[in-house]
Structure 1
Amino acid sequence: MTTAPARTAEATRMYQEAHEAGAAIARQLDANAALVRELAAALRADPPRLVATGARGSSDNAATYAKYLFETRLGVTTTSAAPSVQSVYAAHTDLQGALFVAISQSGRSPDLLRQVEAARRDGARVAALVNVEDSPLMQRADFPIPLRAGPERSVAATKSFLCSLAALLHLAAEWKQDDALRAALAGVPAALEAAWSADWSDLVDGLVSARSLFVVGRGIGLAAAQEAALKLKETCGLHAEAFSAAEVQHGPMALVERDFPVLFFTQDDDTRASTLEIAAKFRARGARVWVAGGDAEATLPLPAGLDPVCAPLVAVHRFYAAASELALRRGRDPDAPPHLNKVTETT
């Protein structure tokens, strides 16, 4: 049985900090312009043979975004490297000629620090996207890139995640020298603000009594699904699992019964039609389906006309507001989830 919220969603730190993301991204793009141009020039002059990412939690969801962004827009193979390979197994990997991108809010997790040290030892150049500018991780990087999200006191990372995606987009645009992508990124802060008041009340109402759900995306949108599922577990105490639309029919579909909730994230690219087909199959099985997007098929509206690589930022931003409200409706404090700390120092 749920309890009545003692405060409004707008009063939570999670809501307030997420709402600051647009201003933080605008600040980041301006302050980091020279740093990102320098890194991009170095990568064009000596292209890496691959990109490896290192991250945990929400930052690892940002690394998923980096994979699809770099591979589809730059044609550079991008893979997620497990920190435990170095921190637990003390193994060597061949990263000669690679770019290693570490992503972190705090820049203090011991396993990520060891991974960065090993990456440099094994031949990689290291770029670090970190919110805490005086952190050990920033000091170990060849190319330190501050996220500039500002203080984030809620345990749930929100604006630092969105600033991570913006920093990756900034790097891709400068690396490719892509004016269209530069313009699309410059429009993200306004798109975030436009989406903030979109009506997602049906999602909140529909999940108040839910026990579990699937969150589905594909391609560049998979990161949005992963981040939403993590936040639903973390802030709402709701068992949520993220899947690619290409994978969810294999084993997970067997769990779907009437009224089983499924949240889809879509973007207007080559994955859209197939993702909507999967959503229709879930509806045919009696599932309760929500689709976030900027077109007529969407039941959770977002601004139309977004560049597909910008769509996940806008969708997740609006989702954060819904999650903070849902947490309260379920009798939980989104700022202080049980058993969790702001900084998780994994070894």
Structure 2
Amino acid sequence: MFAEAAEAAGVVRAQIDANGAAVQALAARLRSLKPRAVATIARGSSDHACTFAKYLIETRLGLMTASAAPSVTSLYDGNVGMAGVVCLAVSQSGKSPDLLQAATAAKAAGGFVVALVNVEDSPLAALADAVVPLRAGPELSVAATKSYIAALSAITHLVAAWTEDAGLMQALNSLPEQLEAAWAQDWSAGVKALKSAHNLFVIGRGVGFGVAQEAALKFKETCGLHAEAFSAAEVRHGPMALVGPGFPILAFAQNDESLAGVDELLAEFAGRGATVLAAGASPQAGVTALPSPGADAAIAPIVMVQSFYRMANALSVARGFDPDRPPHLNKVTETV
């Protein structure tokens, strides 16, 4: 896990270079298609990448973006109309049975299927109308790291080209350097605070929410630590009743319209005596800042999750786990 996560900057640099022409051509095709909506198809870490895609696409393109549940087709034999819909299928392996069935059904129902996939000769790539290779290379650790970051960067690349947004493309081109800086950040305060924890909330909002989901999954997978991800807005609807003295919170905050609300929430948690760790939030009393290099708000969550992966690996070891061999898990989950 440690070695693969450390490769992320190089993976993203090579991906941007290799995918440039193909992404531009796909973006031109999407502009000509003028889709009415976007549907995402994914599981696990890839589904968390799709949460990032939802916020980026809806805020930059104004296209409704929703997750298509694979079980609707794989279990219930449902038939959802996909005419005029771009279907983003995101996967590391490209061979999970329910994912393949959902993508096949989406295509048969009139959807335009775009596969963002790491294994380029996979069944998913073969059935898709267009492929954006993740180019993460072999990933042996059960816990996805570099392939997750590669999915986020590929999504950003596609949206930047689709919208012809020079600012977003500039931010993307800075991402490899930002990831290198993120890998060098010291998040050991998180290891110290969470070594003996039993539960925690992971908070994000907007494009940062998918990273909060991913972090919560990694805590469960690699650290044996029960974590739940919440939007900084949604956590106020009941879950924050659990937050009191010593309750651990990890927050991801990017410098956009969501920042003021996240800062306000963290101040309230700190006022209750919670153990609050935050990356990207404004400095304030009672909140332990986890350092993060300054980055454009659109890519800041990608940068922060790179620092998180290093911390999660260290926390796993500190809690007596093997981060490369989580109990009861396999690299490819063949859900039906």
State TM-score, norm by structure 2. 0.98
CA contact (8 A) 2:45 2:214 kept: yes
Cross-structure match for 2:293:
303
CA contact (8 A) 1:110 1:346 kept: yes
Once the two structures are TM-superposed, the CA of residue 257 in structure 1 deviates from its matched residue by 2.1
Give a deviation string over 1:138-193, Cα, whole Å, max 9, x none: 00100011100011000000000000000000000100111111110000000011
Matched, 1:213 2:203: no
Matched, 1:119 2:98: no
- SS of 1:119's equivalent in the other structure is helix
Q: CA RMSD in A?
A: 0.9
CA contact (8 A) 2:263 2:281 kept: no
Matched, 1:329 2:318: yes
CA contact (8 A) 1:295 1:301 kept: no
Seq. identity, %: 57
Structure 2 unaligned blocks of 5 or more? none
Matched, 1:339 2:318: no
Task: Output the amino acid matched with 2:146.
Answer: K
CA contact (8 A) 2:259 2:281 kept: no
Cross-structure match for 1:25:
12
- SS of 1:299's equivalent in the other structure is strand
Identify which of structures 1 and 2 has the higher relative contact order when contacts are C-alpha pairs closer than 8 Å and 6+ apart. 1
Matched, 1:144 2:131: yes
Give the Cα–Cα distance (whole angstroms) in 2 for the partners of residues 296 and 146 of structure 1. 39
- SS of 1:164's equivalent in the other structure is helix
Q: 2:260 aligned to 248, 251, 273, which one? A: 273
Cross-structure match for 2:279:
292
- SS of 2:52's equivalent in the other structure is helix
Once the two structures are TM-superposed, the CA of residue 56 in structure 1 deviates from its matched residue by 0.2
Structure 1 unaligned blocks of 5 or more? 1-13
Cross-structure match for 1:38:
25
CA contact (8 A) 1:85 1:91 kept: yes
Q: 2:39 aligned to 49, 52, 69, which one? A: 52
Cross-structure match for 1:11:
none
Counting matched residue pairs gives 333
- SS of 2:229's equivalent in the other structure is strand
Give the Cα–Cα distance (whole angstroms) in 2 for the partners of residues 322 and 112 of structure 1. 31
CA contact (8 A) 2:245 2:274 kept: yes
Give the Cα–Cα distance (whole angstroms) in 1 for the partners of residues 184 and 12 of structure 2. 19
State TM-score, norm by structure 1. 0.95
Give a deviation string over 1:180-230, Cα, whole Å, max 9, x none: 111100000000111212121111100000001000000110011000000
Give a deviation string over 1:66-100, Cα, whole Å, max 9, x none: 00000011111110110000110111111101000
CA contact (8 A) 1:215 1:243 kept: yes
